[in-house]
Structure 1
């Protein structure tokens, strides 16, 4: 496999692990323990690279011209530890999203944000999308659950990007080996 595929897959896997670590930090107790999550830039630093790595992985996958069964076989040619690690990242991302959705299903307020200097959240108990103003304490209590899902999605995108690009690298390696014969 060429080094660019390995570097791309490794970067996506590391970003996935970092996003999942940040999602895990949202479960820490205490209001003052999470000053990292209040500014929105922390989400952008994770979401934008994950999205770009995923798009680049899709481009590399389509450039191989292989069908899904060949891509799956290429993924199966990766070392077992790599497969297990990528599977663990994907399963953990999905688990965080499911736990967040199940835990947040009973909550009335979701998606806390600061808008024009005021703390607001969406009230899901009404039929229209109505923003409700919050106190700072309510906002800080709701913020970790709002950020958890936003960190889990890039975790899944990074794991998928790593799997896709490493499988594409295996396909490229196999094509190069058959061309050399």
Structure 2
């Protein structure tokens, strides 16, 4: 896998993990988040992370579109990634679902910033797509580049 896929995937995963941690911290009582309490509009760190969401996901979608593979082949490519990478992406996915599940069951409260879990999950999905596409490219390049 090329270094651009590794860097892009790690970048997407790191931003998603940050948003999921902010969501989890928002559930703790008396925890200060980088969100303006009066308006609920994100402060500059969260705004910067959210501003990078669209270009990161668009580039992940373009990379996935350019890879000649269906969903089964992409899943097999994901399974060829190191186990630690698979576990990290799986843990982030499960954490995001666990943080969003209470909001799906009940109405969200004003004190929680659970909406940050949605872009966190999108970043995690982008990281999955990027790393699986990179593994597909590595496999297609043949044994000389592995």
TM-score class, shorter-chain normalisation, is 0.7 to 0.9
Counterparts of 2:16 and 2:136, CA distance in 1: 23
In the alignment, which residue of structure 2 is the partner of 1:101?
104
Shift of 1:51: 3.1
Counterparts of 2:49 and 2:119, CA distance in 1: 7
Q: TM-score, normalised by structure 2?
A: 0.86
CA contact (8 A) 1:51 1:157 kept: no
**Alpha carbons of 1:94 and 1:35: their partners in 2 closer, same or farther (altered >3 Å)?**
closer
Please identify the structure whose Cα radius of gyration is greater. 1
In the alignment, which residue of structure 2 is the partner of 1:36?
34
SS at match of 1:36: coil
Query: Which structure has more helix as a fraction of its residues?
Result: 2
**Alpha carbons of 1:160 and 1:35: their partners in 2 closer, same or farther (altered >3 Å)?**
closer
Shift of 1:48: 2.5
Counterparts of 1:163 and 1:22, CA distance in 2: 21
Shift of 1:35: 5.5
**Alpha carbons of 1:35 and 1:10: their partners in 2 closer, same or farther (altered >3 Å)?**
closer
Q: CA RMSD in A?
A: 2.0
Runs of at least 4 residues of structure 1 off by over 4 A? none
Cα deviations by residue, 1:26-85 (Å, 9 ceiling, x for unpaired): 11213xx42522162434323222332122111101111211111111111001110111
The correspondence for 2:56, drawn from 47, 53, 57, is 53
Shift of 1:177: 1.3
**Counterpart check, 1:75 vs 2:78:** yes
Cα deviations by residue, 1:112-162 (Å, 9 ceiling, x for unpaired): xxxxxxxxxxxxxxxxxxxxxxxxxxxxxx2x32x222x101110111011
Q: How many matched pairs?
A: 140
CA contact (8 A) 1:74 1:170 kept: yes
Query: Which structure has more strand as a fraction of its residues?
Result: 1
Shift of 1:179: 8.1
Q: TM-score, normalised by structure 1?
A: 0.70
Q: Which runs of 5+ in 2 are unaligned?
A: none
